[in-house]
Amino acid sequence: MAGEHTVRSYDEELSHLTNLIARMGGLAEAQLDSAVQALIKRDSDLASKVIAADAKVDEIEHEVHSFTVRLLALRQPVAHDLRMIVGALKISGDLERIADYAANVAKRALVLNQIPPVKPTAAVPRLARLVQEIVKEVLDAFVEQDRDKAVKVWKQDEEVDDMYTSLFRELITYMMEDPRNITACIHLMFIAKNIERIGDHATNIAETIHFLVQGTPIREIRPKGESVLPDPSQISRDN
Amino acid sequence: MQISSGSPFPQNTETSPGVRKVTAEDVNVYYGEKHALKSVCLDVYANEVTALIGPSGCGKSTFLRCLNRMNDLIEGARVVGRITLDGEDIYDSRLDVVQLRARIGMVFQKPNPFPKSIFDNVAYGPRIHGLAQSSGDLEEVVVTSLQRAGLYEEVKDRLGEPGTGLSGGQQQRLCIARAIAVSPEVILMDEPCSALDPIATAKVEELIDELRENYTIVIVTHSMQQAARVSQRTAFFHLGELIEVGDTEQIFTNPQQKLTQGYITGRFG
């Protein structure tokens, strides 16, 4: 929003809130990156660091919550300021979940590091790279308050869904080929699901950014990728 | 009454489905050389509270005073354009201004009870307009008006005492009771709470909300929170122009005009 408030401290507070979200986003992004690295490089130390660092993200989320409540109570924001503050509150929730999923990936990486590697481990980083890119883009969209960039991210979720579905099938094939792969493949399946969920939270953030910039929700219907679940309308009730 | 050429209409984002009670079409007001209100077009809907907001000198009070011809009392003031009440031109030369002001009552910034008893303050209007046939009728009007103004319970045992002896908040509610005693259709309020404490303000705001069931209310306020709390529609004025009018919720969550956004978020003014 162009222009400064007559009360300068209000501007400083809003900019502090934006900085908190940017910091939290940076941390969540780094957590995801480290968790994926810990998986690829079978680095248990790095995985442990990711698990421990999750508390830092939670801490910033608490800070965002109390700061938001304070701003609402003391400034009674309206219009763009109000949307910005409520948006920051929502985004902090999504970022906290993103970091949580990253920590979950790290926890499973620790387990996977105890057992021999399986081939599909290589397919997970592809999905992770795409989601990392989406998270980065959505954080840029927030900092730049760029609605178009947010919409672009929002549409990219389709690609994540497709990639996740194909990975899901690949993992099932490996398990069918050799039951000794099941333990590792199940962990990889959950890791893939966690990463896919991170993509969903990035999509939520994109929707929030659109609302806080534009004042209206995204009206388009989001393109949906292929799902691992069958279309309910195609399932016969007799089964 | 002459009608000047129209300027572009302000952004109108209203969704009010109500009945138009008062309509202002291309209203311009001049105080001598000063062009105080510029081509304002605004509809006031029945049984709604319309809030007029904007920085000092933006024309909101000027506009309010046009609605019951209070500007007639200001020397050098000239009103151009058309304002109708239920479709009837209120600036028609054949119209009785005293009758108009009985239909469109007004409550001012500072409570201004007459130096009379509480009873006589409220009974004054009905007496001069001959609205009560008997003393029993008059008493009923006074009691009902005080009840509607939420003041009766506090003053019922001292109706003979001077109105000026009441607290500020009570005096303002007395003035509201006085305004509604003549059964107006529209009540204009010019910053009715600016001299009141928060509790008295809350009581008046609660009253405004109740009154809209029977009356149409237009309120000028400097408090944006008050506009947000009491009104269904909000109009934002700036430098004599109506910049934006819309549903209050929309004006305070997603105003369409940059000037409105700037003003309500405290970026100028």
Task: Output the pLDDT for position A176.
Answer: 94
Taking only the tens place, the pLDDT of each residue in A106-118 is: 999 999 999 988 8
Taking only the tens place, the pLDDT of each residue in A8-66 is: 899 999 999 999 999 999 999 999 999 999 999 999 999 999 999 999 999 999 999 99
Q: Is A105 helix (H, G, I), strand (E, B) or coil?
A: helix
* Residue at B39 is within a domain: yes
* Residue at B5 is within a domain: no
Chain-chain contact of B268 with A1 (C-beta, under 8 angstroms) = no
Q: Which residues contact A232 (CB under 8 A, 6 or more apart)?
A: none
Chain B: nearest CA to A73, how far in angstroms?
Answer: 13
Q: Which residues contact A219 (CB under 8 A, 6 or more apart)?
A: none
Task: Output the pLDDT for position B2.
Answer: 37
Task: Output the pLDDT for position B9.
Answer: 42
* Residue at B12 is within a domain: no
Task: Output the pLDDT for position A67.
Answer: 96
Number of Cβ within 10 Å of residue B99's Cβ equals 10
Taking only the tens place, the pLDDT of each residue in B73-120 is: 888 999 999 999 999 999 999 999 999 999 999 999 899 999 999 999
Chain-chain contact of B225 with A216 (C-beta, under 8 angstroms) = no
Taking the Cβ of residue B265 and every Cβ of chain A, the question of whether any pair is shorter than 8 Å is answered with yes
In single-letter form, the type of residue at position A86 comes to: V
Question: What value, to the nearest 5°, has the Cα angle with vertex A14 and ends A218 and B236?
Answer: 70
Measured between alpha carbons, how far is B68 from A182 in angstroms, rounded to an integer? 83
Q: Kindly tell me the sign of the dihedral angle through the C-alpha atoms of A51, A52, A57, A63.
A: positive
Residues of A in contact with B269 (CB under 8 A): 6
Chain-chain contact of A3 with B268 (C-beta, under 8 angstroms) = yes
Number of Cβ within 10 Å of residue A239's Cβ equals 4
Taking the Cβ of residue B160 and every Cβ of chain A, the question of whether any pair is shorter than 8 Å is answered with no
- B75 DSSP 8-state letter: T
Tokens standing for residue B256: 């369409």
Number of Cβ within 10 Å of residue A216's Cβ equals 9
The CATH number given to whatever domain includes residue B190 is: 3.40.50.300
* Residue at B44 is within a domain: yes
* Residue at B6 is within a domain: no
Tokens standing for residue B127: 């007496």
Using CA atoms of A198, A202, A208, A214 in order, give the dihedral in degrees to the nearest 10. Answer: -170
Q: Which residues contact B193 (CB under 8 A, 6 or more apart)?
A: B172, B200, B201, B204, B205, B221, B223, B226
Taking the Cβ of residue B55 and every Cβ of chain A, the question of whether any pair is shorter than 8 Å is answered with no
Name which of B254, B257, B258 to mutate to probe chain A: the one with the most chain A Cβ atoms within 10 A of its Cβ. Answer: B254
Backbone conformation region of residue B33, classed left if phi is above 0, alpha if psi is from -120 to 50, else beta: alpha
For chain B, the first-to-last Cα distance in angstroms comes to 34
Average pLDDT, stretch A211-228? 82
Calculate the alpha carbon distances from A131 to A142, A198, A199, A210 in Å.
17, 7, 6, 19
Task: Output the pLDDT for position B73.
Answer: 86
Helix (H) or strand (E) holding B79: strand B77-85
Taking the Cβ of residue B255 and every Cβ of chain A, the question of whether any pair is shorter than 8 Å is answered with yes
Question: How does strand B77-85 pair with strand B88-89?
Answer: antiparallel
Q: Which domain holds residue B133?
A: 20-264
* Residue at B219 is within a domain: yes
Average pLDDT, stretch A133-152? 95
Tally of structural domains, chain B: 1
Chain-chain contact of A215 with B268 (C-beta, under 8 angstroms) = no
CA-based R_g, chain A, Å: 20
The beta-carbon neighbor of A5 closest among B228, B260, B267 is B267
Angle between helices A44-75 and A79-112 (to 10 degrees): 160
Task: Output the pLDDT for position A30.
Answer: 97
* Residue at B98 is within a domain: yes
* Residue at B194 is within a domain: yes
- B234 DSSP 8-state letter: E
Q: Which residues contact B207 (CB under 8 A, 6 or more apart)?
A: B149, B150, B173, B176
Any idea how long chain B is? 269
Measured between alpha carbons, how far is A34 from A106 in angstroms, rounded to an integer? 8
| pLDDT by 10s per residue, chain B, length 269 | 333 333 344 445 555 568 999 999 999 999 999 999 999 999 999 999 999 999 999 999 999 999 999 988 888 999 999 999 999 999 999 999 999 999 999 999 899 999 999 999 999 999 998 888 899 999 999 999 999 888 999 999 999 999 999 999 999 999 999 999 999 999 999 999 988 888 888 988 999 999 999 999 999 999 999 999 999 999 999 999 999 999 999 999 999 999 999 999 998 75
Chain-chain contact of B265 with A79 (C-beta, under 8 angstroms) = yes
The beta-carbon neighbor of A81 closest among B228, B260, B265 is B265
Whether the Cβ atoms of residue A92 and residue A22 lie closer than 8 Å to each other:
no
Q: Which residues contact B140 (CB under 8 A, 6 or more apart)?
A: B132
Chain-chain contact of B254 with A216 (C-beta, under 8 angstroms) = yes
